[in-house]
Structure 1
Amino acid sequence: MLDKLGTLGLVGIVVTLAGLGLVAYQAPLVAAGLFLVLAGIGLVTQSLVKNVMSAFGFA
């Protein structure tokens, strides 16, 4: 999976995790909430992409 993201995708993941780590350092409960929000957005995005790909006959 990581090879399909490319350099920019990997940088985005690193920046996101660094930001989440910075928030966790100051407010762990807020960081847990942000993690849940990011995980939910990721799942919704994955589902949307999968549905669009299947609509075009790619998957």
Structure 2
Amino acid sequence: MFDKLGISGIVGVVVVLGGLGLIAYADPIVAAGMALVLFGFGLTVKALVSNLLGSLGMGGMV
């Protein structure tokens, strides 16, 4: 998985997890809500990319 992300993707994941950790330190309930929002956003982006590639005839790539 990490070879597909690249170095900037890995740094991005670390920054997001660090931010969630900092929020969780201050308020765990807010951090749980933020984690759910990020998870939902990720699922939405994956679905959009899958549909776009499928409409271009490259649906098997994702």
Q: State the TM-score, normalizing by the size of structure 2.
A: 0.92
Q: Who is 1:28 aligned against?
A: 28
Alpha-carbon distance in 2 for matches of 1:33, 1:12:
20
Alpha-carbon distance in 2 for matches of 1:40, 1:2:
21
Runs of 4+ in 1 over 3 A off after TM superposition: none
> Could you list the runs of 5+ residues in structure 1 that have no partner in the other structure?
none
Alpha-carbon distance in 1 for matches of 2:47, 2:2:
18
Q: Who is 2:51 aligned against?
A: 51
Of all paired residues, the percent bearing the same amino acid is 54
Alpha-carbon distance in 2 for matches of 1:37, 1:55:
27
Q: Who is 1:37 aligned against?
A: 37
Q: Which amino acid aligns with 2:9?
A: G
Q: State the TM-score, normalizing by the size of structure 1.
A: 0.96
Shift of residue 2, structure 1, vs aligned partner? 1.9
Shift of residue 32, structure 1, vs aligned partner? 0.2
Shift of residue 19, structure 1, vs aligned partner? 0.3
CA-based RMSD: 0.6
Q: How many residues are matched?
A: 59
